[in-house]
Structure 1
Amino acid sequence: MRILLSNDDGYFAPGLNILAQHIAKIADIVVVAPERNRSGASNSLTLDRPLTVRKAANGFFYVNGTPTDCVHLALTGLMDAPPDMVISGINDGANMGDDTIYSGTVAAAMEGFLLGIPSFAVSMSQHNSRYFESAAQTVVKLVTYYHQNGFPPPLLLNVNVPDIPHQDLKGWQVTRLGKRHKAEPVIKSTTPRGETVYWVGAAGSAQDAGPGTDFYAVSNRLVSITPLQVDLTQYKQIPGLQQWLPDYDASNASGSAA
């Protein structure tokens, strides 16, 4: 089994290094990650300049681009054959609910998924995590079970692990995404040169966090495993929108020639 590892915290991040140590015991690994922290990069691709790939002393490849760049480059040019799986993480902080839209961790896994590879995004439940080992051991169990039993494709899993010792975990639970309250306002400040700058405010607290959600699982010492999809279509609105919109008559469109 061959596995591509990536992340959004950078190739030097402790979560990625601990994950690599554990996964290397059960699979051949290739690590391709950003050269610096690119948290919040979402699914952005770098299209306005070429990318460079360098190799660190520990054998990791690092790219001057986004998490999506890293996985896209690895799967479409750097690797000589497709891996069996893509794993992104272990992120230092949660990616639950609305976080998944902004997350570079999830985006890296999603790029693997879009290119036809089963993919996992793995995150800790809070920033400044202490127990990356808990997540790494959990991922080894999950990967081993998947390798032995399989699962119908396509597969994109968002995994969030409580930041507690591994022996204190109560198991794992299949969940849906919860929802956060709206984000805190931006923080305005002034530089020593008198320039006004803004820091993006903190994410909102959990709002939809009842039983069955990722928030609920993690708060109850369970590993949350959420299957994700890329289709953003709001299917329930299609019939109503079809009725609401009038027939389109190009001859009477605003701005048409007289």
Structure 2
Amino acid sequence: MPHVLLSNDDGVHAEGLHVLHEAIRQHASRIRVVAPDRNKSGASSSLSLSYPLLLKQLENGFYSVDGTPADCVYLGVSAIWPDTPDLVISGINHGANLGDDVLYSGTVAAAREGRALGRPAIAISLVGDTHFETAGKVAAMLLDAIDTVSLPARALLNVNVPDLPWSEISGVRITRLGRREDNSSRPIPVKDPRGETRYWIGPVGRYVDEGNDTDFKAIEEGYVSITPLASDVTQYSALESVNMWLDSLVRR
């Protein structure tokens, strides 16, 4: 059984993290939990480079870090302890990480940091805030089978679970990312106690690509969505046209 590092972006006290720990306890040889000391949703892959990080062990054995999800996985994998984990699991996130969400998600970023450090990685999210036990069962199922899947270098699995009882899950689908509308909602202005205007980031946009093979459609139909993600974001289809454009500039 693997030695597993758990992290998240909702914080070390989040319900989803504790349910995940309990769900995989019998499926791992050892579990270490390193998570942010507070909610860091939307932190993406940011690292804390302007101050040293405080790593603190809590009474339950979990470790908190006054940094980002990526900071937590970096510390959890990189030689703080003599034994390093075989696998990184991030979650269970409180809410979906579908489509464009993966660009901003601290949950996905924690898994991505693990993969960048050479460890297989899974990000798991519950599309809601009720049936965490269902997502825990999915995590345990995947953990038991992770040694049998062959992923390209620096790839990770982004898993989203419908907020349903286990008995109502339709099955599992391998999916691609859907896409939301390009124009996100406008920022929401509010006044602080001193009369200064501040802005809330607006809600996510509507779906514009929810084809049958997307993560959006799988969740809508009650299926667990598993999307392999790559770290290489090069747009290969554009290389030739950009080369031609550059050649035309040089000839001027």
Normalising by the smaller structure, the TM-score range is: over 0.9
Instruction: Provide the residue aligned with 2:77 in structure 1.
Output: 75
* Residue 240 of structure 1: aligned partner: 241
Task: Report the alpha carbon displacement of residue 247 of structure 1 after superposing the two structures with TM.
Answer: 6.3
Q: Paired residue for 2:178? A: 178
Task: Tell me the residue number matched to 1:197.
Answer: 198
Distance of 1:113 and 1:150 partners within structure 2: 15
Partner Cα separation in structure 2 for residue 53 and residue 95 of structure 1: 27
Which aligned pairs between 1:21-60 and structure 2 lie closer than 5 A? 21-27=22-28, 28-60=30-62
Task: Please tell me whether residue 122 in structure 1 is matched to residue 121 in structure 2.
Answer: no
What residue number does 2:230 align with?
229
Runs of 5+ unmatched residues, structure 2: none
What RMSD over aligned residues (CA atoms) do the two structures have, in Å?
A: 1.4
Q: Tell me how far 1:245 sits from its aligned partner.
A: 1.6
| 1:141 to 2:138 alignment | no
Residues 39-96 of structure 1: CA deviation (Å, up to 9, x unaligned): 0000000000100100111100010000000001111132322211100000001001
Task: Tell me what 1:88 maps to.
Answer: 90
Paired residues of 1:43 and 1:104 also in contact (CA < 8 A):
yes
Q: Give secondary structure in 2 for the equivalent of 1:99.
A: helix
Matched position secondary structure for 1:25: helix
Q: Secondary structure at the match of 2:99?
A: coil
- 2-side partners of 1:242 and 1:177: how far apart? 28
> Is 1:151 the counterpart of 2:178 in the alignment?
no
Give me the whole-angstrom Cα distance separating, in 2, the residues matched to 1:203 and 1:118.
29
For the 8 Å contact 1:118–1:153, the answer to whether it is kept is: no
What secondary structure is seen at the aligned counterpart in 1 of 2:19?
helix
Supply the AA of the counterpart residue of 2:91: G
- Gaps of at least 5 residues in structure 1 are 253-258
- Flag as ranges the 4+ runs of structure 1 deviating above 2 A: 149-155, 246-249
User: Quick one: which amino acid aligns to residue 167 of structure 1?
Assistant: S
Supply the distance in 2 between the matched residues of 1:192 and 1:153 (Cα, whole angstroms).
52
Give the AA of the match of 2:15.
P
- Count residues in correspondence: 247
Percent identity between matched residues is 47
Match of 2:242, as an amino acid?
A: L
**Which residue of structure 2 lines up, in the alignment, with residue 256 of structure 1?**
none
Aligned to 1:255: none
Taking structure 1 as the reference length, the TM-score comes to 0.92
User: Higher Cα Rg: structure 1 or 2?
Assistant: 1
CA distance in 1, matches of 2:171, 2:145: 14
User: Matches of 2:81 and 2:114 in 1, distance apart?
Assistant: 13
Could you state the TM-score of these two structures normalised by the residue count of structure 2? 0.94
Q: What does 1:197-216 align with in structure 2 at a 5 Å threshold? A: 197-216=198-217
Q: Secondary structure at the match of 1:77?
A: coil
